[in-house]
Structure 1
Amino acid sequence: MKILLIDPPFYRFFNYYNRYFPLGLSYLSSTLKKAGYEVVVYDADCNKNSKGMDYTRLPEKYRIYLKELKNPKNPIIQEISETIKKYRPDIIGITIMTPKAASAFTIASLAKQHNKECHVIVGGPHATLRSDEVLKNTRDVDFVVNGEGESVLLELVNTLRAKRNNFGAIRGLSYRQGDTHIHNPMQSFVDNLDGLPFPDRKTLLGMDTYTSEDMGLLMGSRGCPYSCSYCATQIWTRRVRYRSLANIVEEIKYVRLHFGTRQFTFKDDSFTVNRKRVLEFCDSLLEAGLKINWDCNTRVDLIDLELLKAMKRAGCNSIKVGIESGSERILALMDKGITLEHIHEAARLFREAGIHWTAYFMMGIPTETREDVKKNFGFII
């Protein structure tokens, strides 16, 4: 069976720069290929001719995105249609983040236009949290994979290949039975992350559009123990699962060898949540003699000077932290678990350690007032 995994376009409609490759889809690809399936990953949001990324204009440009999805002559829509036509997949899998939902539904429709027998499967955070809504919104979607997709998708593909209809036995699957939506119990999380093959970067369409740095996207863990009210990672039940340090170092060596990557990016939700492990990781990098740089995400209350200095010695050259708001009231509303004092102290530590850092802010939180927004700007300045 031929399988086409697609990351739907969104930023590309605005000519925005969109970095890296679809990590989640690449994990699915490697799992399916290991089982003998022919798989291609198509990053339809990859933009060869980007002109910037002014996120302040996204709300007004969102209407353009919705309008262009209905325009069959839009070059992005035409490219997607031609890719499906050329590849002729038996199965199309689409990952959905909430802003990309409309785009994903358009792709599902295109898939059915080209081949009514093509099985359309969706997954990702939005699909997991809104599986019933997805099935209700479009009949072009046949199945929803909820939660971690590797084992669920593989079992579904095996079932489709065998032409069996025992979908009720597949945990983590949502589907239709006539006019009824069936939601099976969730599948257990993958405990042994080392048992998963490395994400398959070589099945990406348009490899020439990616830089060596784009190929350096990694995850050393899955899950987050915190419960920020705005965050979809709560679907992982606040439990963190880790790859072994040896497994991570092995992937770094592989990516550096095959793609020449020297700058790596860790997309763990809170990289320094386990302080002892991070120190051991830094030692592992130094012992391996890997002269690389890397960056990560973490929280302002999960750092200290000794840790930051160790990370810098091991090649860490940038850290992103979620501040989200300069208003104590909004921080409390978000269940963020940090204070403005935590943030000021973190800024001081970053400066003392000599590590470049950037901050995430959010605006438009329910009940946020003009005064709260002014506090954001004041805090940034």
Structure 2
Amino acid sequence: MLSPCPGTGLSYLNSYLQMNGYDSKLYDFFFESWDYVEDILIKENADIVGITCLTEGRNNSFKLLSLIRRIKKETIVVFGGHHSTYMYDQLIKSFDIDYIVLGEGEEKFLNLIQAIEGKMPLESVGGIVYKKGGLVFKNSMKDGDFIKELDKLPFPLLEENLHIFTKYPSLKELHPKQVKNIPPEVSENGRVISIITSRGCPYNCQFCSTTLFWGKRWRFRSPKNIVDEIEYYYTHFGFRYFNFADDAFTIVPKRAIEICKEITNRNLEIYFDCTTRADTITDELVKWLKRAGCLFVALGVESGSRKILETINKKISPSSVIKAFRILKKNDLSAYPLLMVGNPGDNDETIHKTILLMKIIRPYRVSISKTTIFPGTDLYDLAKKQNFINDSYWLTPKPPLLYTYENSFKTMERWAFEIENYDKKLYELRILRLKLRVLGFLSNINSLTFKKRILSKRFMEIMKKYIRFIF
């Protein structure tokens, strides 16, 4: 899977530290060699180094830590990120890490630096883990430790990191089908930049760890502040494509509409995509999304089985998915479902219901992932109770574990293939219909007649030969 753009979390943190007077630099080592990383560490000779530790990339974080210790052992190393937040006890005891920042980082990291400088007691810094006298201490993370007014955070400073974006895929490489109707200078040469418009989530899906990291209370930026950031990137750096990186951008439809209105009122010729929930889709919302430049919407559908949706605590229904796709299609806004196979309780019957749902909503594509276990999720707690996994797994170099307690990897592969194969057949059918219409074959053929004929094996063989000859 291609990563659309550099991560945003450290960008906001870097700007926040600079705003508060600290000489902070941001490096993205995703595409770099270890020799390059070593050269940078020697060149910068930093007093404090912060490292993002994500579950899927944790071993690279550990390798970076070892490299820092070899180059300059006295460097203060601070870990942050999702994996650090959920597995802090294991990390602080197993590795030579000085501090761990839990969850949202801006204010905590700033306070930690000030505590290291002796400007405030270390014990007063909420949401951190550290070692002292051979013992591990955790300063509790309370709701008050989360930033309430997100508008006060500075925008990421791109001047010194603009070159990073050239290493990431172009929009055309990421979404070849969706970019056909936008200017080539945007699709072929343009890069994607992500914006986070809110933090926290009022939901608690079984497979997701968002609430533990960002908090259960949904906090949001104002539409003006969001579009100010968009305009800043647009005017100063020429960015014209944006990814709203929220888990559910339209969680409050009225607010999303206000953001779209702010974009259109400023006459910003931009394009964007977003991910959201099916039960937030309304006719008015979709009209404004399209008007503001939305190219497509990804909907977290997960399954077509009501039973599975209840099991994973998704709090949507298949009927809400059907309704959402009807609204999106009516307004000619592309959308596709994000699906999962291998959820607890999944079987051939539940997968069949997912396929039936796809036949009803008829998306232009589907995105399918195999259910994967991550720390900090209810699914992880379930898997531990089943003795399917334990914390020691994360000290191995293995990737995040698929939930194969109930169904094998081979079964998940088959289910994914069945759904994907349906999608390919649907796409081929649409292309065939389009070509037949161009050739004039469908002018006097109604839809029912077409479906009957299209199922004829002989008809398909004849038409494939004819179309191959013509095209």
TM-score, normalised via structure 2 length? 0.67
Return the alpha-carbon distance in structure 2 between the equivalents of residues 215 and 200 of structure 1: 16
Q: Does 1:20 align with 2:5?
A: yes
Give CA deviations for 1:206-235 in whole Å, capped at 9, x if unaligned: 434256854531111112211111111112
What is residue 49 of structure 2 aligned with on the other side?
Answer: 92
Between 330-339 and 340-349, the greater mean CA deviation after superposition = 340-349
Sequence identity (%): 36
Q: 1:361, CA displacement in angstroms?
A: 1.8
Return the alpha-carbon distance in structure 1 between the equivalents of residues 45 and 355 of structure 2: 50
Between 106-115 and 318-327, the greater mean CA deviation after superposition = 318-327
Helix, strand or coil for the counterpart of 1:204?
helix
Is this contact kept in 1: 2:77–2:99, CA < 8 A?
Answer: yes
Please point out which of 227, 241, 247 is paired with 1:263: 241
Q: 1:165, CA displacement in angstroms?
A: 8.9
Is this contact kept in 2: 1:18–1:45, CA < 8 A?
Answer: no
Is this contact kept in 1: 2:192–2:243, CA < 8 A?
Answer: no
Q: Does 1:156 align with 2:112?
A: yes
TM-aligned CA distance change 1:175 to 1:377, over 3 Å = farther
Return the alpha-carbon distance in structure 2 between the equivalents of residues 323 and 330 of structure 1: 11
* Structure 2 letter corresponding to 1:45: F
What is residue 170 of structure 1 aligned with on the other side?
Answer: 125
Give the alignment of 1:331-346 within 5 angstroms: 331-346=309-324
Between 263-272 and 197-206, the greater mean CA deviation after superposition = 197-206
What is residue 247 of structure 1 aligned with on the other side?
Answer: 225
Helix, strand or coil for the counterpart of 2:130?
strand
Is this contact kept in 2: 1:122–1:144, CA < 8 A?
Answer: yes
Q: 1:143, CA displacement in angstroms?
A: 0.7
Helix, strand or coil for the counterpart of 1:38?
coil
Helix, strand or coil for the counterpart of 2:335?
strand
Return the alpha-carbon distance in structure 2 between the equivalents of residues 355 and 219 of structure 1: 22
Q: 1:291, CA displacement in angstroms?
A: 1.6
Q: 1:196, CA displacement in angstroms?
A: 0.7
What is residue 203 of structure 2 aligned with on the other side?
Answer: 226
TM-aligned CA distance change 1:79 to 1:368, over 3 Å = farther
Q: Does 1:306 align with 2:264?
A: no
Higher relative contact order (CA 8 A, sep 6+): 1
Return the alpha-carbon distance in structure 1 between the equivalents of residues 162 and 78 of structure 2: 19
Q: 1:300, CA displacement in angstroms?
A: 0.8
Q: 1:87, CA displacement in angstroms?
A: 2.2
Q: 1:146, CA displacement in angstroms?
A: 0.7
Return the alpha-carbon distance in structure 2 between the equivalents of residues 26 and 92 of structure 1: 15
Give the alignment of 1:339-354 within 5 angstroms: 339-354=317-332
What is residue 147 of structure 1 aligned with on the other side?
Answer: 103
Return the alpha-carbon distance in structure 1 between the equivalents of residues 120 and 240 of structure 2: 47
Give CA deviations for 1:248-284 in whole Å, capped at 9, x if unaligned: 1111111001221111111122111112212222221
* Structure 2 letter corresponding to 1:222: R
How many equivalent pairs are there?
336
Return the alpha-carbon distance in structure 1 between the equivalents of residues 139 and 238 of structure 2: 43
Q: 1:81, CA displacement in angstroms?
A: 2.4
* Structure 1 letter corresponding to 2:293: G
Give the alignment of 1:1-150 within 5 angstroms: 17-46=2-31, 76-138=33-95, 140-150=96-106
Is this contact kept in 2: 1:21–1:214, CA < 8 A?
Answer: no
TM-score, normalised via structure 1 length? 0.82
Helix, strand or coil for the counterpart of 1:301?
helix
What is residue 330 of structure 1 aligned with on the other side?
Answer: 308
Where has structure 1 moved over 6 Å in runs of 4 or more?
Answer: none
Helix, strand or coil for the counterpart of 2:136?
strand
Return the alpha-carbon distance in structure 1 between the equivalents of residues 312 and 26 of structure 2: 35
TM-aligned CA distance change 1:350 to 1:46, over 3 Å = farther
* Structure 2 letter corresponding to 1:110: L
Helix, strand or coil for the counterpart of 1:258?
helix
Helix, strand or coil for the counterpart of 1:122?
strand
Return the alpha-carbon distance in structure 2 between the equivalents of residues 86 and 155 of structure 1: 26
Q: Which has the larger radius of gyration?
A: 2
TM-aligned CA distance change 1:242 to 1:165, over 3 Å = closer
TM-aligned CA distance change 1:261 to 1:171, over 3 Å = same
Q: Note the residue ranges of structure 2 that are not aligned, 5 or more in a row.
A: 171-188, 359-418, 423-471
Is this contact kept in 2: 1:41–1:205, CA < 8 A?
Answer: no
* Structure 1 letter corresponding to 2:202: P
